[in-house]
Amino acid sequence: MSTRALFGILIAAAMTVMTLAPASAVTHDKLAYLTFTGPVQVPGAILNAGTYQFRLTNPDVSRNVLQVRSNDGSIVYGMFNTIPDSRTAMTRDTVVTFRETPAGVPAAVKTLFYGGENVGYEFVYPKGGPIMRVGVAPQPPITYARTPAVEEPEVAAPVEPVWEPEPEITVETEPMPEPEPVPPAELPRTASPLPLAAAGGLTSLLVGLGLGWLRRRQG
């Protein structure tokens, strides 16, 4: 490593002051308050000088995802994965190491070591690594706001139907014509004229016989 690069790392380290509890008081989520006297880089954001919270995002599920928040915890500036990193000499307090960056570029935090531990959390930067050019605009703070409640649409009261009388329906019909009188039908003839003719012939025969008898008697 060049003397200039080593000098830059030492300057960056000197700009950082840690204020936290002893190692025995480290919380389950690894909460640490780090105070920086100058701007520094973390994955996805640039932190201005000030005090910030560094903690595990969800220690019950994952022990390698760190979160950076404002001093009061109201603003989240970054949330990123880490990989294990080791050191040979332990320290009583929590410290950070920095990546080498060009002059004028904010120092990039490399690893966070908690007091009394040899294994630390090395920050995983997005593809391309930390910012290495002067004048690159920092990412604006990331905030998490509650999702506004969805307002349910007002339901209009049911409208009772108004009863209206049904209209009267009139049907005009033409008068039916009176039926024409039907002549009585003739009854069918059931008797034959032959019996009458026979009776007439018999009567004539009897009259003739009677007249002949009278004549013989008179003669």
pLDDT tier at 14 (50, 70, 90 boundaries)? very low
**Cα–Cα distance, 20 to 121 (Å, whole number):** 17
Residue 57 is predicted with a pLDDT of 94
Encode pLDDT of 118-163 as tens digits.
999 999 999 888 999 887 555 545 554 455 556 666 766 666 666 6
How much is the mean pLDDT over the chain? 77
Please write the tens of the pLDDT for every residue from 196-208. Answer: 666 667 777 777 7
The band of 193, judged by pLDDT with boundaries at 50, 70 and 90, is low
Q: Is the pLDDT of residue 94 over 80?
A: yes
Phi, psi of 96, rounded to the nearest 5 degrees: -130, 155
Q: Where are the beta strands (DSSP E) in the chain?
A: 16-18, 32-36, 40-42, 45-47, 50-56, 65-70, 76-86, 95-99, 107-113, 119-123
Total-model pTM: 0.54
In terms of average pLDDT, the best of 7-21, 64-78, 175-189 is: 64-78
Structure letter (DSSP) for residue 48: P
Predicted confidence band of residue 50 (pLDDT cuts 50, 70, 90): very high
Residues 31-43: what's their mean pLDDT?
96
Which pair of structure tokens corresponds to residue 71?
A: 């001093």
